[in-house]
Structure 1
Amino acid sequence: MKSYEVNFDGLVGPTHNYGGLSYGNVASQSNSQQSSNPKEAALQGLAKMKALMDMGFQQGVLAPQERPDVAALRRLGFSGTDAQVIERAAKEAMPLLVASCSASSMWVANAATVSPSADTADGRVHFTAANLNCKYHRSIEHPTTSHVLGAMFANQQHFAHHAALPAVAQFGDEGAANHTRFCREYGEAGVEFFVFGRSAFDNRFAAPQKYPARQTLEASQAVARLHGLRDEGVVYAQQNPNVIDQGVFHNDVIAVGNGEVLFYHEDAFLETDKMLAELQGKLAKVGGNFQSVCVPRSAVTVDDAVRSYLFNSQLLSRADGSMLLIVPQECQANERVWAYLQSLTSSGGLIREVKVFDLKQSMQNGGGPACLRLRVALNETELAAVNPGVIMTAPLYGSLTAWVEKHYRDRLSETDLADPQLLLECRTALDELTQILKLGAVYPFQIN
């Protein structure tokens, strides 16, 4: 039976703005308070989805969330009509209104951790929504994330869904941004690779000193248990705390894996040699041949990696066994990074081609190509069980492009977030979107 890795990209929401909410994310903080262009952001994301579909890759779409999140503001003590809640929040606590308007759910690499059926004890694809507990504006996402994923992957014979882990610091979980999987074929048993920044209970592990380590070892272990993963099919690795302090807030800012290949920076991990040996040994037991491509710090510094998002790229398998790297324009603009990529692709190694995409609107807020996609390995039967409304096709691309053109603003500043009309615009757009994607009622305003 054939199997695929399907990329489900996050559709950028109508309230895309530069709130500077993500401490530890250099781009997010440095572009804070600039005016954004939600329409351009959504169209840039859709263009990438369409391009990958046209290249023959399986591509899907994951819907954005309702924003501003008026219910979240009500939980913080604001009352009255929806318009009054927004008005009060803007007047009394603008940072809370900005947080409630964040379109950060576009970065669906943080939506959940996904384990394919070939790895799990019950033979189903397992999803655990990430609690994103480190940042308030992201911690409010997981209830709707669970509803949307449940509507996309609804067949209980093939799919299992788990609620987010307890919303406490000890179980901080950032989803697939700190998780990848190595395998010979997507439908065969593989090795799941969990990367953590700190341990909540074991002080033998070093921790960063400047920026928070968002993923804990304990959260990764809990997800592995929930998904019924075998010990011999799991490897845990610690992210280098020094690179976290340089702005590497997730592992997918410093490493990316696919198939049998790990593409990573020399400074990405602690105890790298031990980790690589464990990956190689465990993958060999299921018939795989683990390979790694290390980018030396002499060629690309950590600062280069953070500013260009070289590793926040998509590593995709071609039919001939070679690999394609999808990178943002910022890689081409960085002289050292681009020189390295030219050398890499001309060397005849595993990664043979680089394609560049304009994702400036997302990049300025701290998210590149890898942030925008959630990978789900599916066999043919499972793919057929996915809600067909969320699988990208040429007609769906046309419908979504027209939908964005109809509903999105082309400029949004912080003062615009206080406009109650923005909430009505968002709800009208999302109500129409659920019909386009055949999701049913997934948003609070539709359910309550």
Structure 2
Amino acid sequence: MSKTVEANFDGLVGPTHNYAGLSLGNIASTSNQSAPSNPKQAALQGLAKMKALHDMGLVQGVLAPHERPDVYTLRKLGFSGSDEQVLAQASQQAPKILAACGSASTMWTANAATVSPSADTTSGTVHFTPANLCSKFHRSIEHETTGNILKAVFSSEKHFTHHPALNSTSHFGDEGAANHTRFCQNYGEAGVEFFVFGQYSFDDSKPAPLRYPARQTMEASQAIARRHQLNTSRTVFAQQNPEVIDQGVFHNDVIAVGNRNVLFCHEKAFLNQAQVYNDLKTAYGHDDFCIIEVPESQIRVETAVNSYLFNSQLLSTSDNNMTIVVPSDCQSDRQVTAYLEELVASNNPINDVKVFDLRQSMNNGGGPACLRLRVVLTPEELSATNQACLMNESLYSTLCQWVEKHYRDRLKETDLADPQLLVESRTALDELTQILKLGSVYQFQKNQSS
């Protein structure tokens, strides 16, 4: 690659992928609670999307899943004995805690971290801050291992700066890149970093949702902008519309998506939406900023949530053209299908639609945008990235074989108590770290070497 690119790093679905309905406010997640899942199919669906984007000429990376069930967290909560005894005790005494510690939610790497490209930072390095995800217990236990994996993929201190997660309190609730995007004319130029939050933590007089929790705070977004040494004149903060959070828009990426000079969003996405547009245009500073706003009269918020129209990927396939990647659920709604046909036929940069079957992920409330973490990399930074984690024909074939070898094709929440599942998961992850050349990023590996 001779120019700066935006790479997509997708989370590989873990061996314990299941439907425990752990995420209040995520309607798909709670609606499919207790249904059997298919971890093998889920992982293969995700890999198929990664391979397709690679075949389009895009840089596509892979991020490893976490060790689950997380017996170390269970031990911290008072369960004791052998790993098998810990699982048995948790299953008998606190099955919902066991389910939380068995979640494969790290597959949604849009929540893994916030990433700022070197063109935007005073230090001239790419900055990473793992999300604390403190609003949900099953996700709040992720950030340490997420940091280990990111450091193994982006290890060069010359090019990459890694921060710890913010304080794990509700005042600084941080959900990562699901509430962050970046606008620019070209990826290699200084851009506008756009942070979207659900509520203020230290000002109860401000609007806030009433039914579902707001997971990202203004204070967390501001803290990350400071950490990443961003230019204040090119950083924009916007509040989500509390009304749409209460309709199931738990992250901004369920109601809006952006890429380069395009913001694609619903008319009810933000509070004071006209002011948000003005702030973005001012910070962007060029006439080619394109806002594609979908009116409620054409696509209702409820329809957007059910179809995940906005939880899509906007991909630059050339300097002037973009492809929108949507889940197959969009095809199930005639209004959404008709809108997408109209969108690509209109005079705007989005001129193609690609549809992927991500049903296993969608059943848990995660579409194409949830599965990827965007990382803008210069040619030098890309060369300094762990090459074993970059998708190609060989890696795709190897990972598909790895999934076929290690994953079950049916899993229910009660199976998380099976000690053999823990053995299977650790065996698979130990092999995966060798494939991806990550070193020892998991606690069980560190225990073995100590």
Secondary structure at the residue paired with 1:61?
strand
For 1:240-291, what per-residue CA distance to the aligned partner results, in whole angstroms no more than 9, with x for missing partners? 000000000000000000001100000000111111111111111xx57321
For 1:394-432, what per-residue CA distance to the aligned partner results, in whole angstroms no more than 9, with x for missing partners? 100000000000000000012211100000000000000
Secondary structure at the residue paired with 2:438?
coil
Corresponding residue number in structure 2 for 1:378: 377
Corresponding residue number in structure 1 for 2:238: 237
Corresponding residue number in structure 1 for 2:403: 404
CA distance in 2, matches of 1:51, 1:391: 13
CA distance in 2, matches of 1:315, 1:300: 19
Q: CA deviation at 1:320?
A: 4.5
Corresponding residue number in structure 2 for 1:159: 160
Q: How does 1:123-202 map to 2 (within 5 A)?
A: 123-202=124-203
Corresponding residue number in structure 2 for 1:51: 52
Q: Does 1:427 align with 2:406?
A: no
CA distance in 2, matches of 1:299, 1:352: 20
Corresponding residue number in structure 1 for 2:367: 368
Q: CA deviation at 1:335?
A: 1.1
Secondary structure at the residue paired with 2:118?
coil
Q: CA deviation at 1:319?
A: 1.2
For 1:351-379, what per-residue CA distance to the aligned partner results, in whole angstroms no more than 9, with x for missing partners? 11111000000000000000000000001
Q: Does 1:312 align with 2:311?
A: yes
Q: Does 1:388 align with 2:387?
A: yes
For 1:82-115, what per-residue CA distance to the aligned partner results, in whole angstroms no more than 9, with x for missing partners? 0000000001100010000000000000000000
For 1:107-162, what per-residue CA distance to the aligned partner results, in whole angstroms no more than 9, with x for missing partners? 00000000000000100000000000000000000010000000000000000000
For 1:314-353, what per-residue CA distance to the aligned partner results, in whole angstroms no more than 9, with x for missing partners? 0011215111000000001111111111111112322111
Task: State the one-letter code of the partner of 1:291.
Answer: C
CA distance in 2, matches of 1:80, 1:288: 64
CA distance in 2, matches of 1:328, 1:258: 18
Q: Does 1:260 align with 2:261?
A: yes
CA distance in 2, matches of 1:174, 1:423: 27
* Alpha-carbon contact 1:102-1:137 (below 8 Å) kept: yes
* Alpha-carbon contact 1:280-1:289 (below 8 Å) kept: no
CA distance in 1, matches of 2:172, 2:59: 32
Task: State the one-letter code of the partner of 1:407.
Answer: H
CA distance in 2, matches of 1:228, 1:320: 28
Return closer, same or farther for 1:321/1:54 CA change in 2, 3 Å cut-off: same
Corresponding residue number in structure 1 for 2:29: 28
Secondary structure at the residue paired with 1:345?
helix
Corresponding residue number in structure 2 for 1:417: 416
CA distance in 2, matches of 1:88, 1:360: 33
For 1:210-233, what per-residue CA distance to the aligned partner results, in whole angstroms no more than 9, with x for missing partners? 000000000000000000001111
Corresponding residue number in structure 2 for 1:7: 8
Q: How does 1:276-355 map to 2 (within 5 A)?
A: 276-284=277-285, 289-355=288-354
Secondary structure at the residue paired with 1:160?
strand
* Alpha-carbon contact 1:132-1:173 (below 8 Å) kept: yes
CA distance in 2, matches of 1:37, 1:137: 20
State how many pairs are aligned: 446
How high is the sequence identity, in percent, across the aligned residues?
64
The worse-fitting range, judged by mean Cα deviation, of 435-444 and 316-325 is 316-325
TM-score (norm 1): 0.99
Unaligned runs of 5+ in 2: none
Task: State the one-letter code of the partner of 1:240.
Answer: N
Task: State the one-letter code of the partner of 1:56.
Answer: G
CA distance in 1, matches of 2:349, 2:43: 32
CA distance in 2, matches of 1:57, 1:436: 21
TM-score (norm 2): 0.98
Corresponding residue number in structure 2 for 1:109: 110
CA distance in 2, matches of 1:236, 1:181: 12
CA distance in 1, matches of 2:374, 2:412: 32
* Alpha-carbon contact 1:9-1:372 (below 8 Å) kept: yes
Q: CA deviation at 1:202?
A: 1.9
CA distance in 2, matches of 1:164, 1:320: 35
Unaligned runs of 5+ in 1: none
* Alpha-carbon contact 1:254-1:264 (below 8 Å) kept: yes
For 1:161-206, what per-residue CA distance to the aligned partner results, in whole angstroms no more than 9, with x for missing partners? 0000000000000000000000111111000000000000123420
The worse-fitting range, judged by mean Cα deviation, of 196-205 and 373-382 is 196-205
Secondary structure at the residue paired with 2:214?
coil
Corresponding residue number in structure 2 for 1:356: 355
Return closer, same or farther for 1:443/1:288 CA change in 2, 3 Å cut-off: farther
Secondary structure at the residue paired with 1:118?
helix
Task: State the one-letter code of the partner of 2:313.
Answer: Q
Q: Does 1:251 align with 2:252?
A: yes
CA RMSD across the alignment: 0.8
